[in-house]
């Protein structure tokens, strides 16, 4: 029971804890959301789009994935916390698109897709877990 209590205090209901963060997987069949809509929903839950792959699920087809908190700012790929990306796990490097999502069926270092904001995907929100 003590473990359950700690878990309840650590992450919000329906969120999954992994290491020091909590994750919310938007897994509804529809409607999927644009990058902006996804980020707004995360922020409304006092969180932001995620940085990590973790356990994402395949859905629909090879091109559908999960938005991550990465966008091009002044032509530099930048995480939502303002730090520049140093990994560059691109499946389609050199694309002119400005937003990023992650797909499940690819090696981690080729799992990010550069795409336009208007595309609709599922997404993952992340917040730091509260340690008590």
Spatial CB neighbours of 93, under 8 Å, sequence gap ≥ 6: 114
Is the Cβ–Cβ distance between 66 and 56 less than 8 Å?
yes
d(CA 111, CA 104): 7
Domain edges within the chain: 24-125
pLDDT of residue 107: 86
Tokens 């938007």, located at residue: 26
* Residue 3: pLDDT over 60: no
H or E element: which one contains 67?
A: strand 66-73
Predicted local confidence at residue 64, as pLDDT: 84
Q: Give the residue-averaged pLDDT of 33-56.
A: 86
% of the chain exceeding 70 in pLDDT: 85
The more confidently predicted of residues 60 and 31 is 31
Angle CA 96–118–26, to nearest 5: 115
Encoded tokens for 6: 């700690």
Tell the residue number behind the tokens 């999954």, with chain if given: 16
* Choice between 10 and 59, residue whose per-residue pLDDT is larger: 10
What is 24-125's CATH superfamily? Mannose-Binding Protein A, subunit A (3.10.100.10)
Phi, psi of 62 (to 5 degrees): -60, -20
């Amino acid at each position: 029971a003590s473990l359950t209590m700690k878990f309840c205090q650590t992450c919000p209901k329906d969120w999954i804890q992994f290491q020091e963060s909590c994750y919310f997987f938007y897994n509804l069949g529809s409607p999927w959301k644009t990058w902006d809509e996804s980020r707004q929903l995360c922020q409304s839950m006092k969180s932001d789009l995620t940085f990590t792959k973790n356990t994402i699920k395949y859905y629909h087809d090879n091109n559908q994935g999960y938005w991550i908190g990465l966008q091009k700012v002044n032509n530099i790929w930048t995480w939502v916390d303002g730090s520049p990306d140093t990994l560059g796990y691109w499946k389609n490097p050199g694309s002119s698109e400005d937003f990023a999502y992650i797909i499940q069926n690819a090696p981690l270092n080729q799992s990010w897709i550069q795409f336009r904001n208007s595309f609709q995907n599922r997404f993952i929100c992340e917040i730091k877990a509260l340690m008590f």
